Amino acid sequence: MRFNVVIRYIGMILLLLAAFMLLSAGISYLNNVDTAYFPLLMSSLLTLLMGCFPMIFVPRSDHISNKEGYCIVVGAWIVSSVVGTFPYLMWGGEFSIINAWFESVSGFTTTGASILNNVEGLPQGLQFWRMSTCWMGGIGVVMFALVILPAIGKSKMMLSNVELSSMAKNNFHYRSQTVVRIVLAVYVGLTAVTTLALKIAGMRWFDALAHAMSACSTCGFSTKNMSMAFFDSPVMEIILIVAMTLAGVHFGVIYATVSGKPNNLFRSEITRFYFAVIAVASVAIAISLTVEDVYPSFIESLRYAAFHVSSFISTTGLAIADCNTWTAFTMMILIFCSIVCACAGSTAGGMKMDRLVLAIKMIRNRLRSQQHPNAIFRTKVDGLPQDRDMLNSVMVFAVAYMMIIVIGTLINTMLGCDLMTGFSACVACMGNVGPGFGDVGSMDNYSMMSNGVKINLTLLMLLGRLEIFGLIQLFFIRWWR
């Protein structure tokens, strides 16, 4: 293990963070040099120095081993989260060390859970930095992985297993550099279109850009204390429903649709299932809300249901209503959405819709094999048979995912949370969703959680974003030998 090589590549990430901090400082300067200007400027200089030293003193290496690749990706997430606390801590306010760590991890993992009671009290530069963390987190480490893939020759598995899963690679039938351009084009394009649409719908430019960055990274940070309920605009909500839903689709499928390729939105089995789940869940919740007289009409119920289903299943977490006032049936559907979530190859977190589809097919084939013991059934997606290693990894991941949620819930309840709050907070943080139920509902925040609970939840955020095994691998001492 060459730690100097690992540090060099992490230094590249620090230079990117320094650039975004400097950009945020520029926004503070243009906003009459608000109180975040000097904290952001000093944080940028400090991060720049930290990134420059390994770039200067560590020679470049054309080959990266599997272990070094794991350390680079996982280390980049952890170091980014640590460095991301600098502007918060220097600014002060509600940001203690634990709170700054929580907010930074929540941003970079695109969880969107917040400890802030007064988001609108943040200066504009710091609000932009907050949005930058989630926008970089949505695609930043993925892009970093894809950029350095050509430099590692045949040793490609180390980054693909940590960040870009084999399921996500299924719709990227291109060379590495082409994939980089595709992902960047889709991500930046979706953000730009959403920003323009929100501006036309009535938002000011800064709020439009901030919410577009938040929605397209599937994070859920907002510039308003009441999230999207502040605007009370059905047009803006429809724009964000489309943005959040598309951000949860495999970027390769979106590119194929725009460029006229055959593997598009309408032919992808996973994407069609994803859209079907959103439609069915939205209608079911709308019916429940109408029957229980939570809202006066079905149309109004459908408005709130569709927004929150899209928000939860895409792991965005933006809100227009307090879901704690809804029925138990609707809460169960939203918890299901928070566990399964959107598609692989997107900016969404969670277990992924791909794994649910494969699990359903595997259960069906198991039942068929019991009825026809001598028959051979292959599990296929889009007509392509899936290998046994892929199917085994799906089941192992699903079991590990649920076990970690159970363990996290036990820790939360041991530290004083009630069962609903402790469980839904674990589901929300493990799936990088953000809002849960109980004390961490869609119109609440995590400020009242104890420091122990906050640390536990940030660990779940990292585990969920790194798809569990990338982070756990580092804790096995034998692996370092």
pLDDT digits (tens, 9 = 90+) for 159-216: 444 455 555 556 555 555 666 777 888 999 999 999 999 999 999 999 999 999 999 9
Phi–psi pair at 380, nearest 5 degrees: -125, 150
Regarding pTM above 0.85, the answer is yes
C-alpha closest to that of 73 among 153, 183, 148, 173: 148
Query: In which residue ranges of the chain is pLDDT below 50?
Result: 142, 148-162
pLDDT at res. 162: 47
State both tokens at 118: 């007064």
Chain segment 69-123, per-residue pLDDT in tens: 778 888 888 999 999 999 999 999 999 999 999 999 999 999 999 999 999 999 9
> For residue 18, which of 95, 148, 129 has the smallest C-alpha distance?
129
Q: What is the pLDDT of residue 406?
A: 97
- Tell me how far apart the alpha carbons of residues 317 and 221 are, in angstroms, rounded to a whole number: 8
Q: Which residues contact 2 (CB under 8 A, 6 or more apart)?
A: 61, 65, 68
Local structure of 385: helix, strand or coil: strand
Characterize the bridge pairing of strands 384-385 and 380-381. Answer: antiparallel
Phi, psi of 381 (to 5 degrees): -130, 125
Task: Pick the closest to residue 27 from 120, 116, 129 (CA basis).
Answer: 129
The C-alpha atoms of residue 466 and residue 132 are separated, in whole angstroms, by: 19
d(CA 120, CA 198): 19
Residue 189 burial (10 A CB sphere; 0-12, 13-18, 19+):
middle
pLDDT at 168: 58
Neighbouring residues of 211: CB distance < 8 A, sequence distance ≥ 6: 194, 198, 203, 222, 223, 228, 240, 318
> How many angstroms separate the Cα of 186 from the Cα of each of 183, 213, 252, 347?
5, 13, 9, 11
Q: What is the dihedral of CA 160, 149, 429, 7, to 10 degrees?
A: 120
* φ/ψ (deg, to 5) at 30: -70, -25
Please report the pLDDT score of residue 156 as a whole number.
43
Provide the Cα torsion 222, 223, 228, 230; round to 10°. Answer: 150
Q: Which residue type does 208 have?
A: A
